[in-house]
Chains A and B, each alone.
Chain A
Amino acid sequence: MAFTLVMRETTLSDFERRSAGESEALVRMDEETFRAFYERTARQVWAYLARITGDRQLADDLLQEAYYRFYRAGAVHESESHRRNSLFRIATNLARDSGRRRRRGHEVPLHDQLEADGDTAGRAERRTDLARALARLKPLQREMLWLAYAQGSSHDEIAAVVGVSIGSVKSLLFRARRRLAELLLGGIRRA
């Protein structure tokens, strides 16, 4: 038994050391850096995932997966913005993969799951309308609209995150915005 235990520790450590050696070319965040980055970005990423998937629990799972993949990628980022874009891109791809596996039409009005402290009836209704309207958009449209107007991302950042050309962001965003406005206004447009 002692020999076996010794073997286990030695073998596992050997493999771990070998794995670490193979990944020396990658730059993994240390704990302090990761935790600070997480604290700055986690709620934003979760909100993004929750709204584009329409599922709070799924957003929890995807959030953890997104940070794991981001950490494991070990990429070197030029700036905080670049790092954030990379994370959002990973989150977007995960949401798309999960969407392909889920049944179409699955919708969970997010506001129903949230505490309504300070939420007036009018505001709650407005958010319900938004959740339902977003659910009727294409995934790419939801992603772009949230990034552009909720997150405040630039067109360059949006293009990098959702994987479209910079030149097409403006027109795609315009169409998505018109569609969402139509849904929110119930098809009534101003003259």
Chain B
Amino acid sequence: MPNNGCDREQDLLTALSTGQWDGELRAHVAACATCADLFEVASALIEDRAQVIRHSEVRGSGLAWWRIKMRERQEAAIAARRALTGVQAVALTCAVPIAALVFNRSIDLSSLAAVAPWTIPLLVALVVWSTLAPVAVYFAVNEE
């Protein structure tokens, strides 16, 4: 049997969906193995779908919408926390060499302070800020 069906398949499907049959089509279904299979399968599926939908308990659209927006907000918060983690990593990466620079005995801090008095306090403030600011922001956005 060729696996390309029968020319009357669409007529059969139309009859199943509309409920309008004629004798000729019924006779054809009785004689054609392909259409007989189609009738068996399609009628079962159509009936089953109607029953499944009739008995389904799908939540309302309002609740579905609310859950989507809640999840969207939660995922935005998670993304924000990930970004902050990245900021912390960058800040620590910058803070460590700066701290090493500040406390490196090979640097003549007195000369540096004489040239630019604001340099050392600035470096110290930068190290402190780089360390504490991400922590503060983390607790600020932590919804738990």
From known contacts A8-B141, A50-B52, infer whether A15 and B61 are also in contact, taking CB-CB under 8 Å.
no
Give residues 58-73 of B contacting A (CB, 8 Å). 58-59, 61-62, 64-65, 67-68, 71-73
Which of chain A's residues have a CB closer than 8 A to the CB of B124?
Answer: none
User: Is there a chain A Cβ closer than 8 Å to B111's Cβ?
Assistant: no
| B110, CB-defined interface residue at 8 Å | no
Chain B residue numbers with a CB within 8 Å of A42 are: 58, 61, 64
Interface range for B: 35 or more
| B46 adjacent to chain A (CB < 8 Å) | yes
Nearest A-chain residue to B51, judged by Cβ: A127
Chain B interface SS verdict (over half): helix
Asked if A97 is at the interface of the complex by the 8 Å CB criterion, the answer is no
Q: Is there an interface contact between B17 and A152, defined as CB atoms closer than 8 Å? A: yes
Q: Which residue of B lies closest to A114 (CB)?
A: B55
CB distance from A149 to the nearest CB of B (A): 4
Q: Tell me if B38 is interfacial: C-beta within 8 Å of chain A.
A: yes
Query: Main secondary structure on chain A at its contact with chain B?
Result: helix
Known: A8-B141, A68-B68. A15 touches B80 (CB 8 A): yes
Closest 5 CB pairs of A and B: A181-B37, A35-B61, A7-B140, A150-B49, A15-B80
Give B residues with C-beta under 8 Å from A.
3-5, 13, 17, 33, 36-38, 40-42, 44-49, 51-53, 55-56, 58-59, 61-62, 64-65, 67-68, 71-73, 76-77, 79-80, 83, 136-137, 139-141, 143
